[in-house]
Structure 1
Amino acid sequence: MSRLFPHPLLSGVLVILWLLLVNSLSLGSWIMGLFLGWGIPRLCTRMWFENARPRHGWTTVRLLLRVTKDALIANIQVAALVLGPTRRLKPAFIEVPVDIRDELGLTLLMSIISLTPGTVSAELSEDHSRILVHALSEENPEQLIHSIKTRYEQPLMEIFPC
């Protein structure tokens, strides 16, 4: 059964999402949803991380809430910057040293940085010790580095120990 449905929970979620997207419960929608729920996890099985189970549930919840709050605040800040005078923009590339070594944790850190409006993970060094981050407007690079390390990297290191 695990070969046929390698990730049954994901398969079920995909079927439900498909039915919600097409807004129909017709036989054809069910068949397509079941096909996608079966096919997508099978195609992506080789891309799954080995130990992708978070270790600290409350830390995970706090991190998700923090990222959501930061994204909402950053949206407002970026809107004000973009709609205001361009002289207020201070774009910068900043190298952020990272201590996290877990592949999934590092991927999540880079994703969080890119999901937060105003910052983008531009590059990961070959030795995985630094992330090049582009900030839309940053006057104090040390503050951005400190913020990324304390707000995102430390919780991720708790959740996914190296």
Structure 2
Amino acid sequence: MTGLFLVNILLALSWAAVSGSFSVVNLAFGFVLGTGVLFMIREQVGGSSYFQRTGRVVGLILLFLKELALSAWRVALLVSRPKMDVSPGLIAFPLTVERDFEIALLANLITLTPGTLSVDVSEDRKTLYVHCIDLPDPEATIADIRNGFERKIMEAFR
């Protein structure tokens, strides 16, 4: 997996050197071209898992963008009402992810989503404490995080 990613970066740098432009757009285009080349020879280089993982990471990114838009809309509706009827709260989210990278990624995705804030991780790294601006149903919020961000993180990085 990591080896093919480095090869893809080298292909992008090679493209930039051949085309004579090291702009961000040209490097990104070279990376996309390199991905296409590696996809065509994936069976010869054993890169099927590279593309499967890439698809899962893209799925996580798309889920984040969807949740970002939905939660921004919900928060905008909450604050635009003349009388803000919210019930803020703190939940203790039991973690299934175990590695530091996965916990940090989950905490950051939650914090970057409007209306939620990762506050702390327990000493034993089994619980993530999350503050929500509006928490009518804590169990539903825990289920949303578990079936959304946490599941996608485990699919992408395990």
- TM category, shorter: 0.5 to 0.7
Higher helix share: 2
Q: TM-score if structure 1 supplies the norm length?
A: 0.64
How far is 1:16 from its partner?
A: 5.3
How far is 1:57 from its partner?
A: 1.6
Q: Work out the percentage of aligned pairs sharing the same amino acid.
A: 30
Q: Which runs of structure 1 show a deviation greater than 3 angstroms over 4 or more consecutive aligned residues?
A: none
2:142 is the alignment partner of 1:158: no
Structure-2 separation of matches of 1:82 and 1:100: 33
Q: 1:81 aligns to what?
A: 78
CA contact 1:54–1:60 (8 Å) conserved in 2: no
Question: Please, which of 87, 102, 105 is the counterpart of residue 105 of structure 1?
Answer: 102
The size of the alignment, in residue pairs, is: 114
How far is 1:85 from its partner?
A: 3.7
2:59 is the alignment partner of 1:58: no
CA contact 1:55–1:158 (8 Å) conserved in 2: no
Secondary structure class of the residue paired with 1:101: coil
2:137 is the alignment partner of 1:143: no
CA contact 1:97–1:131 (8 Å) conserved in 2: yes
Residues 8-157 of structure 1 aligned to structure 2 (within 5 Å): 56-157=53-154
What whole-Å deviation, never above 9, does each CA across 1:22-41 have from its counterpart, x for those lacking one? xxxxxxxxxxxxxxxxxxxx
How far is 1:103 from its partner?
A: 1.3
Return closer, same or farther for 1:54/1:135 CA change in 2, 3 Å cut-off. Answer: farther
Structure-1 separation of matches of 2:82 and 2:127: 32
CA contact 2:106–2:153 (8 Å) conserved in 1: yes
What whole-Å deviation, never above 9, does each CA across 1:16-62 have from its counterpart, x for those lacking one? 57xxxxxxxxxxxxxxxxxxxxxxxxxxxxxxxxxxx9972211111
Secondary structure class of the residue paired with 1:123: strand
Q: TM-score if structure 2 supplies the norm length?
A: 0.66
Structure-2 separation of matches of 1:85 and 1:103: 42
Q: Please, what is the CA RMSD of the aligned residues?
A: 2.1
Q: Which amino acid aligns with 2:93?
A: V
Return closer, same or farther for 1:68/1:119 CA change in 2, 3 Å cut-off. Answer: same
Structure-1 separation of matches of 2:106 and 2:87: 23
Return closer, same or farther for 1:71/1:54 CA change in 2, 3 Å cut-off. Answer: farther
Structure 1: tracts of 5 or more residues without a match: 1-8, 18-52
